[in-house]
């Protein structure tokens, strides 16, 4: 099926969300290419600013990206007492790097994305996101996150996996072996957060990723946020901690309104942090089954 029809992009992906497709009205196609790993498309929309699609799946739009990028960054960062050394796996658009570098305790950031073309295209077309990639504290490595972790042990306080979905180059980042590698790459007291899909359309996938995390980390949980241009308007994160005492739902770092303004945060605060862990009963039951 044609994803671009009559000036509309439609997110047709029968495997990940059968029978439903979000559509955005497109003013202009800014860039389109096939990289070594995936189809990369950047469009200007009439209502949501510019948008990045990989393999026909919406990764972010300028209008609502802050919800995803702030939440996947500050849920783990504000759950760690001193997150000095942070690894981002994926995140080639720069949105997570932009947020992580605002946290006052963060001293070092490493970003490993498999596709240098995503990085270059986002630098060219999505400067509001990619400004995180130009920060001198961010060390960018082009490579497979799974392979990178194979060679790094006991290094990071927080690892954020901002990957695409489990079909394509990110497939290995949703497996049990990846969670074992994440655990080994953490310093004592370290913790992780990973993009983990939505329970409305991918409950099985959410549960299997959660089980991988739970099998490896003494504390594992799932949180959600709303992103109107993701399938079903929602996305979730799997979080894991090496420390049994970690209560992800209660931030150890609370930013004042003044801090939040200084950091230009538009979505995250401590109230929405706590609320992210309030799950519907069907999700709680599926995770605990």
Query: Which one is catalytic: 157, 162, 259, 270?
Result: 162
Active site residue 64: no
Q: Which is nearer to ligand SAM, 164 or 201 (by Cβ)?
A: 164
Q: Residue 134 Cβ, how far from ligand SAM at the closest point, in Å?
A: 16
Q: Residue 111 Cβ, how far from ligand SAM at the closest point, in Å?
A: 9
Q: Residue 5 Cβ, how far from ligand SAM at the closest point, in Å?
A: 22
Q: Which is nearer to ligand SAM, 151 or 281 (by Cβ)?
A: 151
- d(CA 180, CA 150) in angstroms, rounded, equals 10
Q: Residue 156 Cβ, how far from ligand SAM at the closest point, in Å?
A: 15
Q: Which is nearer to ligand SAM, 118 or 158 (by Cβ)?
A: 118
Q: Which residues bind ligand SAM (CB under 6 A)?
A: 59-60, 68, 89-93, 112-115, 118, 144-146, 162-164, 169-170, 172-173, 195
- d(CA 238, CA 224) in angstroms, rounded, equals 9
What's the burial of 3, exposed, middle or buried (CB within 10 Å: 0-12/13-18/19+)?
middle
Q: Which is nearer to ligand SAM, 177 or 254 (by Cβ)?
A: 177
Residues with catalytic roles = 162
């Amino acid at each position: 099926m044609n994803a671009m029809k009559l000036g509309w992009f439609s997110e047709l992906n029968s495997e990940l969300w059968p029978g439903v497709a979000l559509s955005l009205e497109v003013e202009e196609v800014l860039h389109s290419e096939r990289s070594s790993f995936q189809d990369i498309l950047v469009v200007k929309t009439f209502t949501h600013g510019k948008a990045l699609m990989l393999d026909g799946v919406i990764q972010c739009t300028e209008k609502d990206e802050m919800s995803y990028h702030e939440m996947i960054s500050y849920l783990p960062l504000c759950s760690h007492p001193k997150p000095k050394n942070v690894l981002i796996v994926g995140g080639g658009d720069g949105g997570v790097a932009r947020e992580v570098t605002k946290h006052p305790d963060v001293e070092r950031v490493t970003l490993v994305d498999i596709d240098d073309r995503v990085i270059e295209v986002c630098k060219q077309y999505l400067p509001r996101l990619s400004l995180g990639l130009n920060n001198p504290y961010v060390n960018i490595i082009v490579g497979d996150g799974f392979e990178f972790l194979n060679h790094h042990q006991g290094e990071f306080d927080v690892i954020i996996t901002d990957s695409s979905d489990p079909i394509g180059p990110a497939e290995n980042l949703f497996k049990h072996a990846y969670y074992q590698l994440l655990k080994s790459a953490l310093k004592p007291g370290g913790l992780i957060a990973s993009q983990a899909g939505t329970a409305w359309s991918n409950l099985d996938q959410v549960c299997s990723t959660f089980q991988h995390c739970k099998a490896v980390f003494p504390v594992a949980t799932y949180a959600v946020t709303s992103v109107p241009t993701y399938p079903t308007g929602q996305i979730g994160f799997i979080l894991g901690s090496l420390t049994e005492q970690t209560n992800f739902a209660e931030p150890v770092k609370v930013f004042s309104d003044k801090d939040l303004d200084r950091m230009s945060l538009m979505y995250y605060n401590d109230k929405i942090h706590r609320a992210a862990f309030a799950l519907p009963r069907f999700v709680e039951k599926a995770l605990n089954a």
